[in-house]
Amino acid sequence: MLNVDKLMVFYENAIAINELSIEVNRGEIVGIIGSNSAGKTTLMNTVSGLLLDTKLKEQRKGGERITIFGRISFLEQDITDRWADERVKMGIVLSRERHPVFVESDVEENLKIASYLLSRAEMREKIDYIYRIFPALVPLRKRKAGFLSGGEQQMLAIGMSLMAKPKLMLLDEPLLGLSPAIQVKLIESIVTIRKEADVTILICEQFARPVLPIIDRGYVLENGMLTLHGTGEELYNNPEIKAAYFGV
């Protein structure tokens, strides 16, 4: 479904992604594991097309020079030069880190804002589905998103991503800053979404312990480079992973 081939990303002369190749097959949950500054968010922004938008903005204002090499294909189409809005219409939807939502709008308004690709009937059906996946949002549907907890905002952000009818959902650090109990609930929801909504998922996380048991395959990044890859079980039982991410 998704193929990233020899991707390289430079910010000025600093390299953020170095000769990275990954693939995601239809129906999989694939994990990208790495610490801060490993290149996870740069990878997600590049796959989603957001980095092209940022590159253009920086060029227009004479700011930071961003250079991208390599090839990205989705559903056997080369999307390397396609803008973010085109990729969304193709089915690539990014849920960015730190659960960005429209804080002055209530929960249901946020979901409706994200439904611009849906008919009215599809929108209502999808909202009902999101409330079933995240029942904690039901009593909060008229509350402004800025007054939600971090976990509730993350549920809403993932729900907004679902409103865009993703074929491939990109989850950038969805567990960041959340309590262990909320992390468990979100992980369970991600598994349910893959199963019920027929969505392929690429998830980037530094919290490897809760993510590794649910992924089919995973890649470990360090300083923008691929250092390990394997099945979720192989990575979970790898002593290097345990030492680096589990503290054992």
User: Which pLDDT band, with edges at 50, 70 and 90, does 226 fall under?
Assistant: very high
Backbone angles phi, psi at 87, to 5 degrees: -65, -35
How far lies 171's CA from each of 19, 106, 142, in Å? 22, 22, 25
Mean per-residue pLDDT of the chain: 93
pLDDT in tens, 68-82: 999 999 999 999 999
DSSP the chain: -EEEEEEEEEETTEEEEEEEEEEE-TT-EEEEE--TTSSHHHHHHHHHTHHHHHHHHHHHHT---EEEEEEEEETTEE-TT--HHHHHHHTEEEE-TT----TTSBHHHHHHHTTTTS-HHHHHHHHHHHHHH-GGGGGGTTSBGGGS-HHHHHHHHHHHHHTT--SEEEEESTTTT--HHHHHHHHHHHHHHHHHS--EEEEEES-HHHHGGG-SEEEEEETTEEEEEEEHHHHHT-HHHIIIII--
- What percent of the chain is modeled with pLDDT above 70? 99
Number of domains the chain is built from: 1
- What percent of the chain is modeled with pLDDT above 90? 85
How far lies 117's CA from each of 94, 121, 207, 230, in Å? 15, 12, 33, 36
Domain residues for the domain of 33 are 2-246
Here the tokens at position 20 are 């990275």
CA 26 to chain centre: 16
Q: How many Cβ atoms from other residues are within 10 Å of residue 154's Cβ?
A: 29
CATH number at residue 207: 3.40.50.300
What pLDDT was estimated at residue 247?
57
Compute the average pLDDT of residues 129-145: 95
pLDDT in tens, 92-116: 999 988 768 999 999 999 999 999 8
- Of the two residues 37 and 147, the one the predictor is more confident about is 147
| Cα separation of the two ends of the chain | 35
Sheet hosting strand 66-74, strand order edge to edge = 14-24, 2-11, 66-74, 77-78
